[in-house]
Structure 1
Amino acid sequence: MNYDCVRIFFTPENLRTDWNIADYGIDFDFMEFNDRHCRFPVGFIRGDRDKIMKRHLIGDEEINNKIKYNKFCAFMVSNSKPPTSDMRDMCFELLSEYKKVDSGGLFRNNVGGRIGNKLEWLKDYKFHLCFENSTYPGYLTEKLFDAFSAGCVPIYWGDTSLRISLDSENDHIESHCTKGGGGNFSHQYVNIDMTIPRIPKHLIEYHLNPKAFINAHNFPTLRDLIEEIKRMDNDHEAYKAMLREPVFLDNFNPFIEQENKLKSFLESICSQEPKNAFRRGEAIHLTDHRTRMEKNYNLPHLLKYYKLAKKINNILSWRTIPRDLIKKYKLK
């Protein structure tokens, strides 16, 4: 922020580009902004691509061994800061009431320590509870692809655009349903966002196969989602059928296309003279905005806000103690 240069904003998190301080942005948003924006889900640079694309070619013997010998469900989260983590935390608790869910991250670890090689560890499980830390149309990280790569059935929540209607005749993807379910008086009745976002069709560059994973956004409440997981766990034929589904529709491999798109975007920027590559405005109100942002990005300010956030997070963490104590004594 202290350099008057061409600025390219990149984020692996659910954040928006601030076009007042950045010339270019690489994020998750479905949008067009001349040559300034590139949508690039970071999941496309993670995982074993070959295994992901050939996942549906799994043999009968391997599937039968997975059903017979593999553990139930894996969960790996290391950073948990409320309120964004509440949904996956609640789902973990509810699913653990059915069968033990092994947690290999720092958060709720119950396997004796943090797991080093995530993909190798996931291979021993039938399901992978892979919730994003928040939900937003297009926000797709490595979590879903890691599950595919390891041969698990993903239980996914996060990118609401994966609910798009593939047979819509309209220019935009229409919303067919909204949030449903009961009241929020219990974890099991917590609503899941079932909204199908309106996204121009030409911005949708790939289609994940909805039959290849359990999409939490297809269910109105966590209770309904848990019931579907139970059904899949006990219906071996349904489980086999899901594992045999290709990850992407129409035999399309988006990995190379996404990489080439990012490469072209960066080459277009770097091939220009620096003075010609600037895109952010220089109006008075924009200059004032940047000055305020640069002030807030100074290290002392960051440390101040970090310490405050840490205190708030510590206070919020106390809210789980009564619930945990009740569960503990119930088990006794």
Structure 2
Amino acid sequence: MKELKIDFVDFWPTYIKTDNYFYNLLKHHYTLVIDKNPDILFYSSFGNDHLNYNCTRIFYTGENRRPDFLACDFAFTFDYNTHKKHFRLPLYSLFIDYYDMLPHLTRLKTKKEAKEIWKQKTKFCCMVVSNPKNQKRIDFYKKLSQIKLVDSGGKVLNNVGGPVPNKANFIKDYKFVISFENSSQDGYTTEKILEPLFQDCIPVYWGDKLVDRDFNSKRFVNYHQFETEDEVIKKILEIDQNDELAIEMLMQPTFNKNKITHDEEHDQVLKILCEIIEENRKPMAQTWLRYIYQLKLHLIRLRKKLLKLKLL
């Protein structure tokens, strides 16, 4: 196989360069070498080290951030963006691969299986949150807690004796999991809905208003389908008290039937990557447009400093 030098920068601290979505896709078609002078650089939104590279740069983020096409040659994000250099690849897709979730998520449960699963759900509802910035999530938790005990296993509003060491093990005994994103944006769907689905819980989801394009809304409580928050809570309590309704939900397919399959998504991403690699076009980092990008970054940093000094 053809040798391909790649590298990864500006990703989250636990990102493994030789065991990730992109590496695992490409390794079957190229002999991959992690090199500080790569042919292809994959970078994310947790730093600016990518500025030190003038090769072809591919941007990926699972955060609620937009790509800057002055900086990258292609971008994979959560966004419904029709730009020719963009492909929608939400964070949950990476989780499916990394934790080998697909067989369980795509297997339909029989009524007998669903009934047994629901019987084992001995606790009502929980959430595991470490980011305190989404006030809507906190307010919803407090409101539901006034009606029935909701356990909080994260750093925020913890009431179980401290942050839990393993989210998956913690949530598996609960009927419902509060699955609110950190912010709301069309297409921005992370692992927050996926984890409870994988543990056969019922997610109470808020965030991506278009989430039902990806996931079957009959399989979870979709906050965005209700007129008021009181109606959301009323629905949760109805399911809690109606075993047949809950069992029917657990029997539903995980994904929207019109969504492309995970394998099809793999094929499309791989096709894009191979085209980028084989076309051998002049990288954006070697064009005059890089100076505009660098100027933009400088102005952003300057504005932050001025705001900090309260001069703006």
For the criterion TM > 0.5, the same-fold answer is yes
1:232 maps onto 2:286 in alignment: no
Please list the CA deviations of residues 112-135 of structure 1 after superposition, one character each: whole Å capped at 9, or x if unmatched: 122222222221110111111111
Task: Choose which of 273, 280, 283 in structure 2 pairs with 1:278.
Answer: 283
1:119 pairs with one of 149, 153, 168: 168
Number of residue pairs matched? 255
Aligned partners of 2:222, 2:253: CA distance in 1, in Å?
A: 15
Distance 2:257 2:293 in 1: 45
- State the distance in 2 between where 1:89 and 1:230 align: 19
The residue number in structure 1 matching 2:103 is: 50
Matching residue within 277, 295, 298 for 2:298: 295
Counterpart position of 2:184: 135
Per-residue CA deviation, residues 190-219 of structure 1 (Å, 9 max, x unaligned), is xxxxxxxxxxxxxxxxx4212111000001
Distance 1:251 1:218, change over 3 A: closer
Question: Quick one: which amino acid aligns to residue 32 of structure 1?
Answer: T
Higher relative strand content: 2
Runs of 5+ unmatched residues, structure 2: 1-50
Secondary structure, aligned partner of 1:98: coil
Distance change in 2, residues 1:55/1:101 (3 Å): farther
- Counterpart residue number, 1:312: none
CA distance in 2, matches of 1:64, 1:6: 50
Q: 2:117 aligned with 1:77, yes or no? A: no
1:53 is displaced (CA, Å) by 1.3
Cα separation, 1, equivalents of 2:258 and 2:79: 25
The CA distance in 2 between the partners of 1:103 and 1:304, in whole Å, is: 36
State the distance in 2 between where 1:163 and 1:248 align. Answer: 8
Secondary structure in 1 matching 2:178 = strand
Distance in 2 between residues matched to 1:9 and 1:141, nearest whole Å? 17
1:18-97 equivalences under 5 Å are 18-34=68-84, 36-47=85-96, 48-54=101-107, 56-57=109-110, 59-67=113-121, 70-81=122-133, 85-97=134-146
Alpha-carbon contact 2:115-2:247 (below 8 Å) kept? no
* 2:265 counterpart of 1:258: yes
- Find the aligned partners of 2:115 and 2:251 in 1 and give their Cα distance: 13
C-alpha RMSD of the superposition: 3.0
Provide Cα deviations, 1:283-325, integer angstroms capped at 9, x if missing partner.
Answer: 6xx5553132343687xx79969x959xxxxxxxxxxxxxxxx
Structure-1 residue corresponding to 2:219:
212
Distance 1:112 1:41, change over 3 A: same
Bigger relative contact order, structure 1 or 2 (CA pairs below 8 A, ≥6 apart): 1
Whether the aligned pair in 1 keeps the contact of 2:216 and 2:253 (CA below 8 Å) is yes
Which of 60, 66, 79 aligns to 1:10? It is 60
More helix by share: 1
Deviations 1:236-272 (A, max 9, x none): 2111111111112449772222223222222222223
Large movers: runs of 4+ above 3 Å: 55-58, 249-253, 279-283, 286-289, 301-305
Amino acid at match of 2:183: S
Distance 2:180 2:204 in 1: 7
